[in-house]
Amino acid sequence: MQSKPTVLDLFCGCGGLSLGFIQAGFDVKLGIDAWQDAIKTYTATHQNTQGIVADLFTTTPEQISQQTQINQIDVIIGGPPCQGFSIAGKRMIDDERNQLYKSFVEFVRFYRPKAFLMENVPNMMSMGKGLIKEQITQDFEQLGYTVSS
């Protein structure tokens, strides 16, 4: 029997993206979010998946690996907070949450998954005249990944 590809979900919220991957046949090993109530819901609805409350501004992939004993992942998924990019709020290029994508990059650097999926609002593509999208793309390409959006 062939094993299912393993998944790590960053900024998982209540687990919608994890659910889609589970339904597609993946084995979601871990979901991480800073919002404790979201993780309570996540662990209640994803009983075969570990959920962790962690602030990804300060928590490193090494710390997560040590805490969970998860050292290998096939796919990393997630949606870093989008409030600074979204037209639904004050679209601010200097919103500190806009920098959380760098944590996603660090997890990709550490785990070296076969693939990753980072989702966000459409306006992230045009923020700063496209410079943010360009920087994010460059960060992943420097790790050896091909990026499409």
Q: What is the CATH number of the domain that holds 40?
A: 3.40.50.150
* Assigned domain for 112 exists: yes
pTM over 0.85: yes
| Distance, C-alpha 119 to centroid of its chain | 8
What token pair was written down for 35?
């919002």
Query: Which of the four pLDDT bands, split at 50, 70 and 90, describes residue 27?
Result: very high
pLDDT tens-digit profile of 81-109? 755 444 445 544 454 545 788 899 999 99
Check residue 107 and give its pLDDT.
98
* Assigned domain for 147 exists: no
Q: Which of 8, 12, 56, 82 is catalytic?
A: 82
What token pair was written down for 112?
């070296």
Choose between 101 and 130: higher pLDDT. Answer: 101
Residue-wise burial string across 11-40, b where 16 or more C-beta atoms lie within 10 A, e elsewhere:
bbbbbebbbebbeeebebbbbbbbeeebbe
Nearest CA to 100 among 11, 7, 9? 11
* Assigned domain for 148 exists: no
pLDDT tens-digit profile of 58-74? 999 999 999 999 999 99
Checking 48-54 for CB contacts under 8 A at 24+ apart, the result is: 49/15, 49/18, 49/22, 51/12, 51/15
How many domains, in total, are found in the chain? 1
82 is catalytic: yes
Check residue 32 and give its pLDDT.
99
* Assigned domain for 20 exists: yes
Domain with 98 in it? 6-141
Above pLDDT 90, what percent of the chain? 70
